[in-house]
Chain A
Amino acid sequence: MNRDHRENRGPWYLLTGLIVGFVLGLLYTWAVQPVEYVDTNPASLRVDYKDRYRAMIAAAYQYNHDLVRAQARLELLNDEDLVRALTEQAQRTLGVGGDQAEAGSLGELAAALDVVIAQASGAGSAGISSPEVRTPTHTPEPALTSTVQPSSTATETPESPLDTILPEATQSESTLAVTATITRTPRPSATPSPTPTETPTRTPTSTPAAPFVLRTTQRLCEQNQPGGLIQVIALDAAEAQIAGVEVIVTWDGGEDHFYTGLQPELGRGYADFDMAADVVYAVRLAEAGETARELSTFTCSGGYPGSWRITFQQP
């Protein structure tokens, strides 16, 4: 009888022991010696802290203009697409009425990175080969797996101001000056995305002291593209697009600010604004200069909405 009883309860003792052991293990790991996060890396940061980290990288870039360093730092965050992460954060920042300077810094860094990444990938390289580099830098030791390494021999490459957006205009009516127009693929967000072709080796940045002149005010009619936009392009004196230029759109009872370069796929100096019907807008750049006025929605001859292309240039 007793032997039968022992035989019957044997497996239960084993199971009970396992459960007790497991519970003891949990107690130890949860109560006695809980996990403490130490020596973590930026990739493990919470999303909002990653945003802060990214903003910090962009702020530091404003001082050093060292793309190698900025890219190495950004890669620590393990973003799938560095440029997209920057531009999305810039747009989020503007969207919630955040710090415009911060958004501008993020946009400028995104635009600069977009150029060198495209250039590097075009050359079959895994990273930046010769961007604008100030000095070799120290980078954090742990987990820096970037293939981009600061190089003490990197040199500045000559400036090549040409920046091409695909010149694929479909129709154009009453243009004051004909310039390249953007080939756009409609997206849900109504932000077009052409494929940039040539890219410069160095990113021009806004020169705060130089005023802009209004070079062209152009009506665009592109049947297959979203209309109703004010497209702004900022160029320097050499006709290279400039990222990070603040654009101010005003209308009766309202005003909006945004920056060029937040959609680097459309050009570093590009920015756009959605017009509402029956509202008259004026556009200028914050860094002084002329204003494009009397901009409102219009209908093209085909019955679809057209857009405005406003080009500002530093003399």
Chain B
Amino acid sequence: MIAILIGIAGGLFYGWEISPVEYVDTSPDTLSIDYKTDYVLMAAEAYQVENDPALAVQRLAVLGGDPIEMVVQAILSAERNGYIDSDLALMRQLSEALQAWHLQAGQGS
């Protein structure tokens, strides 16, 4: 029993101290909310130039989940983290545009 406990302890020590997990080859859906928020802001900035909601949705899809909901979450995060008003405005514009686009697409189908 003692040997087993020593073995487990050895495994944990090896895994945490000697060779800890290195995050490589991850996908954007694993990014922390701060980075996701900045990604959404980038999408909002790009949207100002491209004015293409479908492209924005495509870009946001890599973050996982519902893109529209992702934008809402990002706005909340941005508000918590003190993003400047102009950035918040861009994200809100994107949110409204995506919701309108979603409604339009729903009516069209």
Identify the A interface with B (CB < 8 A).
Answer: 13-22, 24-26, 29, 35, 37-42, 44-47, 49, 52-53, 56-57, 59-60, 62-64, 73, 76, 135-142
When the two chains form their complex, are residues A21 and B28 in contact, meaning their CB atoms are under 8 A apart? no
Count class of interface residues, chain B? 35 or more
Partner of A62 from the list B30, B39, B49, B83 (CB cut-off 8 Å) is: B49
Q: Is the interface of A mostly helix, strand, loop or mixed?
A: helix
Q: Mark B27-70, 1 if CB is under 8 A from A, else 0.
A: 11011111101110111011011100000000100100000000
Q: Does B19 contact A (CB under 8 A)?
A: no
What are 15 A-B interface contacts by the 8 Å CB criterion? A25-B7, A37-B26, A39-B30, A39-B31, A44-B30, A45-B25, A46-B26, A49-B27, A49-B62, A56-B39, A60-B41, A62-B46, A63-B46, A138-B81, A140-B38
- From A22, A29, A53, A141, B28 is in contact (CB under 8 Å) with A53
Q: Mark B1-34, 1 if CB is under 8 A from A, else 0.
A: 1111111111110010000010111111011111
**Given contact pairs A20-B7, A21-B8, A59-B45, A37 touches B15 in the complex (Cβ within 8 A):** no
Bound-complex Cα distance A60 to B45 (A): 5
B106 interface residue (CB < 8 Å to A)? no
A22, A39, A53, A137: the one contacting B8 at CB < 8 Å is: A22
A-B contact count (CB 8 A): 136
What are the residues of chain B within 8 A of A59 when measuring CB–CB?
42, 45-46, 49-50
Q: B31 and A138: CB pair below 8 A?
A: no
Minimum CB–CB distance from A31 to chain B (whole Å) comes to 14
- Besides A21-B10, A44-B23, A140-B34, 15 new A-B residue pairs in contact (Cβ under 8 A), listed by A number: A18-B6, A21-B9, A24-B4, A24-B7, A25-B7, A25-B12, A40-B26, A41-B23, A45-B27, A47-B25, A56-B59, A59-B45, A60-B45, A135-B84, A139-B38
> Are A42 and B7 closer than 8 Å at their CB atoms?
no
- B75 on the A face (CB < 8 A): no
CB distance from B24 to the nearest CB of A (A): 6
